[in-house]
Amino acid sequence: MRDVPELVRVSIGTAAILGLEERWLSAEPSTAYLMTYTEGRCTANCAFCPQARESTASQDLLSRVLWPPFKTGEVLKALRGGRSRGLKRICLQVINYPGFLDDVMELLKAIRGVTDLPISLDTPPIGLKALGELLELGVERVCIPIDAATPRIFEAVKGRGVGGPYTWTGHLKALEDALKVFGRGRVTTHLIIGLGETEREAVRLIQDMWNRGILTGLFALTPIPGTRLEDHPPPPLDAYRRIQVARYLIVHGLTRYGDMAFDWEGRIIDFGLEPKRLVELLSSGEAFQTSGCPGCNRPYYNERPSGPLYNYPRPLRGDEIDKEVEALLRMIWRGGAY
Ligand code: SF4
């Protein structure tokens, strides 16, 4: 029998909320973000990832966020009071390395022993049997990040193109297996915008996933020094906003990929809604907030707190909503239908 791993990584914002680290936060995480600890690097080699096998970035990084290791016992003790510290969920990010599943199972048992907060697990593809065990251990939602909008981009950033172990069909199969075990609405994937996809390709993937019962969480490529994509620019904010809005409308059943229109470069020029209706639907500002599992706000995962904010980690103020909606309408107006 394996022991609980001695160390676990904790995002710096989570560490501050849990009282493990003293730090002023301009936005507090509403989810406790944890990551498995391993001495070496991930055996995969995703081009955007500081944890990748050939990355020379600090192993304390995932995206632009610091994840220092802490003694697991200290973290578990702090998680006991998680709800009173405003936490709504625990998200365990899993690095791929030999024996990672055993570590994950032991960590999950230990976490379940100290808190009833819902748990999301973000994992590389695993088999049906392991998925069933995760469900039994009380995992509420599982995420298998496809990250890329098309098979071609997937190959280039996660698969053979970077000497990585993953395949597009393998990830799709893993997502289907996760659906069999966890059911529709309890499976998530991630999509990173800025890897060379068109807006049309991104929205098609989001719709396809949604049709299968899978929720897509949206990320902006964050070029980190030491990763293969260190010199790759982040996505243009206007393109991100259009995809973000399309995602919001799709997962709320308000429009569909097939009702939308795109220009010759694949940019969204019509969301399939009357302008007045679109403004109404965006008036809460929710479309511009972080997307993913319920209760997840990932503060400043893709951007500096000074902005521009790809994902708002909190509800928007009235003036921010007006600014974002006006900018969106201006952008579409220039390009097409409105
Ligand atoms: S599997 Fe996850 S941790 Fe490993 S390189 Fe890919 S994105 Fe990074």
Residue-wise pLDDT for 190-219, tens only, equals 999 999 999 999 999 999 999 999 999 999
SS3 223: coil
The CA 48 to ligand 1 mean position distance, Å, reads: 9
The CA 157 to ligand 1 mean position distance, Å, reads: 11
Residues 321, 288: Cα–Cα separation, whole Å: 9
H helices, E strands: number in the chain: 10, 12
Task: Identify the helix (H) or strand (E) that includes residue 261.
Answer: strand 261-262
Q: Is the CB of 47 under 6 A from ligand 1?
A: no
Question: Residue 266 region, left (φ>0) first, then alpha (ψ -120 to 50), else beta?
Answer: left
Contact between residue 110 and residue 76 where contact means Cβ atoms under 8 Å apart: yes
Domains of the chain: 7-335 (3.20.20.70)
Residues of the chain predicted below pLDDT 50: 336-338
> Given this model, what pLDDT does residue 337 score?
45
Global pTM value:
0.95
Q: Whose CA is nearest to atom 2 of ligand 1?
A: 95
Residue 289 token pair: 């907030």
Q: Which atom of ligand 1 is nearest to the CA of 50?
A: 8
Q: Is the CB of 49 under 6 A from ligand 1?
A: yes
In a 10 Å sphere around its CB, with 0-12 CB exposed, 13-18 middle and 19+ buried, how is residue 319 labelled?
Answer: exposed
Q: Is the CB of 44 under 6 A from ligand 1?
A: yes
The CA 52 to ligand 1 mean position distance, Å, reads: 6
Q: Concatenated DSSP letters for 264-298?
A: TTS-EEE-SS-HHHHHHHHTTSGGGB--SSTT---
Residue in 217, 202, 223 with CA at minimum distance from that of residue 265: 202
Whole-number Cα distances in Å, 242 to 84, 173, 299, 321? 36, 29, 21, 15
> How many other CB atoms are found less than 10 A from the CB of residue 73?
12
AA letter at 288: F
Residue in 52, 59, 117 with CA at minimum distance from that of residue 91: 117
> Given this model, what pLDDT does residue 338 score?
45
> Given this model, what pLDDT does residue 307 score?
82
Residue 295 token pair: 């209760």
- The alpha carbon torsion through 265, 160, 189, 175 (nearest 10 deg) reads 120
The CA 164 to ligand 1 mean position distance, Å, reads: 9
> Given this model, what pLDDT does residue 208 score?
98
Q: Is the CB of 164 under 6 A from ligand 1?
A: no
